Structure 1
Amino acid sequence: MSVTSTRTERRTLQIPIDTGVVALRGLSPQRHRFELEYALERGSTANSVLFAAGDDQPAVLVHPPGAAYSAVFLPALAKLLPDASHPLLVVVGHVNPNRVALLRSLAETYSGLELITSNAGAKLLEELWTQRKPSPPGEEQEQPPLPDLPSLRVIRHEQTLAMAHGRSLQLIATPTPRWPGGLLAFEQSLGLLMSDKFFSAHLCTEEWAETNRTSTEEERRHFYDCLMAPMARQVEGVVERLEELDIRTIAPGHGPAIEDSWRSLLSDYRRWGEGQQNASLNVALLFASAYGNTAAIADALAQGVSRTGIRVNSLNCEFTSADELIGTIQQADAVLIGSPTLGGHAPTPIVSALGTLLAEGDRNKPVGVFGSFGWSGEAVDLLETKLRDGGFSFGFEPIRVKFSPDAMKVKELEEIGTRFGRQLLQAQKKAQRRSAGGLSESRSDPAVLALGRVIGSLCVLTTRKGELSGAMVASWVSQASFTPPGITVAVAKDRAVEALLHKGDRFALNVLAEGRETAPMKQFLQPFAPGADRFAGLELQESPGDQPLLPESLAWLEGSVKQRMECGDHWLVYAEVLHGGLFDPAGSTAVHQRRSGANY
Structure 2
Amino acid sequence: MTSSPSATDRRVITLPVEPGLICLRGLSPRRLRFEVEYGLERGTTANSFLFEPGAAGGAPVLVHPPGASFAEPFLGQLAQLVPADAPLKVVVSHLNPNRVALLKQLATGWPATVLVASNPGAQVLGELWEQQRPGPGGEAAAPADAVPLPTIEVVKQETSRTLSSGHELTLIPTPTPRWPGGLMAFEASTGLLMSGKFFAAHLCTEDFAEASRSSTEEDRRYYYDCLMAPMARQVETVVDRLDELPIRTIAPGHGPAIAQSWRSLLADYRRWGESQEKASLSVALLYASAYGNTAAIADALSQGVARSGVRVESINCEFAPPEQLLEAIHTCDALLIGSPTLGGHAPTPIVSALGTVLAEGDRAKPVGVFGSFGWSGEAIDLLESKLRDGGFQFAFDPIRIKFSPDLATLRTLEETGTALGRRLRSQHRQTQRRSTGGGLSESRTNPAIQALGRVVGALCVVLARKGDGPEAIGGAMVASWVSQASFSPPGFTVAVAKDRAMESLLHVGDSFCLNVLAAGKESGPMKRFLQPFPPGADRLAGLDLDATPSGQPLLPEALAWLEARVSQRMECGDHWLLYAEALSGDLLDPAATTAVHQRRSGANY
Of residues 528, 540, 555 in structure 2, which corresponds to 1:535?
540
Aligned partner of 2:428 in structure 1 is 428
Residues 8 and 272 of structure 1: is their aligned pair in 2 closer, same or farther, counting only changes over 3 Å?
A: farther
- Correspondence list, 1:236-247, <5 A: 236-247=236-247
Deviation at residue 132 of structure 1 after TM alignment: 1.8
- What letter is aligned with 2:428? Q
Aligned partner of 1:129 in structure 2 is 129
- What letter is aligned with 2:506? L
1:355 aligns with 2:362: no
Aligned partner of 1:493 in structure 2 is 498
Aligned partner of 1:164 in structure 2 is 164
- Correspondence list, 1:154-193, <5 A: 154-193=154-193
CA displacement 1:10-53 (0-9 Å, x = unmatched): 10000111111100000010113111100000000000000001
Aligned partner of 2:4 in structure 1 is none
Check conservation: 2:509, 2:567, Cα contact below 8 A: yes
Whole-angstrom distance in 2 between the partners of 1:487 and 1:141: 56
Deviation at residue 161 of structure 1 after TM alignment: 1.8
1:514 aligns with 2:515: no
Check conservation: 1:104, 1:146, Cα contact below 8 A: no
Whole-angstrom distance in 2 between the partners of 1:311 and 1:572: 22
CA displacement 1:183-217 (0-9 Å, x = unmatched): 00000111000000000000100000000100000
Deviation at residue 378 of structure 1 after TM alignment: 0.9
Residues 459 and 16 of structure 1: is their aligned pair in 2 closer, same or farther, counting only changes over 3 Å?
A: same
Aligned partner of 1:3 in structure 2 is none
- What letter is aligned with 1:50? L
CA displacement 1:129-159 (0-9 Å, x = unmatched): 0112122129987443221000000011211
RMSD of aligned residue pairs (Cα, Å): 1.3
Whole-angstrom distance in 1 between the partners of 2:414 and 2:140: 35
Whole-angstrom distance in 2 between the partners of 1:529 and 1:472: 14
- Correspondence list, 1:55-70, <5 A: 55-70=56-71
CA displacement 1:442-468 (0-9 Å, x = unmatched): 110000000011111100000000111
Aligned partner of 1:14 in structure 2 is 14
SS at match of 1:448: helix
Aligned partner of 2:3 in structure 1 is none
Residues 307 and 138 of structure 1: is their aligned pair in 2 closer, same or farther, counting only changes over 3 Å?
A: closer
Whole-angstrom distance in 1 between the partners of 2:107 and 2:536: 44
Deviation at residue 97 of structure 1 after TM alignment: 0.6
- What letter is aligned with 1:485? P
- What letter is aligned with 1:330? H
Whole-angstrom distance in 2 between the partners of 1:271 and 1:138: 46
Check conservation: 1:229, 1:276, Cα contact below 8 A: yes
- What letter is aligned with 1:559? A
Whole-angstrom distance in 1 between the partners of 2:8 and 2:602: 49
SS at match of 1:216: helix
Aligned partner of 1:454 in structure 2 is 455
Whole-angstrom distance in 1 between the partners of 2:602 and 2:90: 58
SS at match of 1:161: strand
Whole-angstrom distance in 1 between the partners of 2:138 and 2:221: 45
Deviation at residue 438 of structure 1 after TM alignment: 1.4
Check conservation: 1:8, 1:29, Cα contact below 8 A: no
Aligned partner of 1:256 in structure 2 is 256
SS at match of 1:535: coil
Of residues 481, 489, 508 in structure 2, which corresponds to 1:484?
489
- What letter is aligned with 1:540? L
Aligned partner of 2:75 in structure 1 is 74
Whole-angstrom distance in 2 between the partners of 1:49 and 1:275: 34
Whole-angstrom distance in 1 between the partners of 2:382 and 2:140: 27
Whole-angstrom distance in 2 between the partners of 1:32 and 1:188: 33
Aligned partner of 1:562 in structure 2 is 567
Aligned partner of 1:369 in structure 2 is 369
SS at match of 1:165: coil
- Residues paired across the two proteins, number: 594
Aligned partner of 1:26 in structure 2 is 26
**For structure 2, which runs of at least 5 residues remain unmatched after alignment?**
1-6
Whole-angstrom distance in 2 between the partners of 1:536 and 1:185: 50
- What letter is aligned with 2:523? T
Check conservation: 2:168, 2:187, Cα contact below 8 A: yes
- What letter is aligned with 2:275? G
CA displacement 1:442-498 (0-9 Å, x = unmatched): 110000000011111100000000111101000000000000000100000000000
Deviation at residue 536 of structure 1 after TM alignment: 2.1
Deviation at residue 582 of structure 1 after TM alignment: 1.7
- What letter is aligned with 2:408? M
- What letter is aligned with 2:338? G
Check conservation: 1:8, 1:30, Cα contact below 8 A: no
- What letter is aligned with 2:445? S
**For structure 1, which runs of at least 5 residues remain unmatched after alignment?**
1-6
Deviation at residue 56 of structure 1 after TM alignment: 4.4
Deviation at residue 93 of structure 1 after TM alignment: 1.4
Residues 140 and 286 of structure 1: is their aligned pair in 2 closer, same or farther, counting only changes over 3 Å?
A: closer
SS at match of 2:593: coil
Aligned partner of 1:101 in structure 2 is 101
Check conservation: 2:283, 2:310, Cα contact below 8 A: yes
Whole-angstrom distance in 1 between the partners of 2:259 and 2:543: 51
SS at match of 1:99: helix
Whole-angstrom distance in 1 between the partners of 2:513 and 2:339: 40
Check conservation: 1:27, 1:46, Cα contact below 8 A: yes
1:547 aligns with 2:552: yes
Aligned partner of 1:344 in structure 2 is 344
Check conservation: 2:453, 2:600, Cα contact below 8 A: yes
Whole-angstrom distance in 1 between the partners of 2:22 and 2:572: 41
Aligned partner of 1:382 in structure 2 is 382
- What letter is aligned with 2:544? E
Deviation at residue 420 of structure 1 after TM alignment: 0.3
Check conservation: 2:412, 2:536, Cα contact below 8 A: yes
Check conservation: 1:210, 1:216, Cα contact below 8 A: yes
Whole-angstrom distance in 2 between the partners of 1:319 and 1:193: 26
Aligned partner of 1:474 in structure 2 is 479
Of residues 572, 591, 594 in structure 1, which corresponds to 2:599?
594
SS at match of 1:164: coil
Check conservation: 1:21, 1:50, Cα contact below 8 A: yes
Deviation at residue 57 of structure 1 after TM alignment: 2.8
Whole-angstrom distance in 1 between the partners of 2:138 and 2:86: 43
Check conservation: 2:132, 2:141, Cα contact below 8 A: no
SS at match of 1:457: coil
CA displacement 1:564-595 (0-9 Å, x = unmatched): 00000000000000010122111111110000
SS at match of 1:268: helix
- What letter is aligned with 1:286? L
Whole-angstrom distance in 1 between the partners of 2:242 and 2:157: 14
Deviation at residue 105 of structure 1 after TM alignment: 0.3
Check conservation: 1:129, 1:149, Cα contact below 8 A: yes
1:195 aligns with 2:195: yes
SS at match of 2:9: coil
- What letter is aligned with 1:572? L
Aligned partner of 1:302 in structure 2 is 302
TM score, norm. by length of structure 1: 0.98
Whole-angstrom distance in 1 between the partners of 2:179 and 2:136: 29
CA displacement 1:317-355 (0-9 Å, x = unmatched): 000111111111111111000001111111111110000
Check conservation: 1:58, 1:164, Cα contact below 8 A: yes
Whole-angstrom distance in 2 between the partners of 1:25 and 1:63: 11
SS at match of 2:79: helix
Check conservation: 1:8, 1:28, Cα contact below 8 A: no
Whole-angstrom distance in 2 between the partners of 1:66 and 1:357: 35
SS at match of 2:318: helix
TM score, norm. by length of structure 2: 0.97
Aligned partner of 1:4 in structure 2 is none
SS at match of 1:581: strand
- Correspondence list, 1:564-583, <5 A: 564-583=569-588
Amino-acid identity (%): 66
CA displacement 1:364-392 (0-9 Å, x = unmatched): 11111100111111111111110011011
Answer with 279-288 or 158-167: which moved more: 158-167
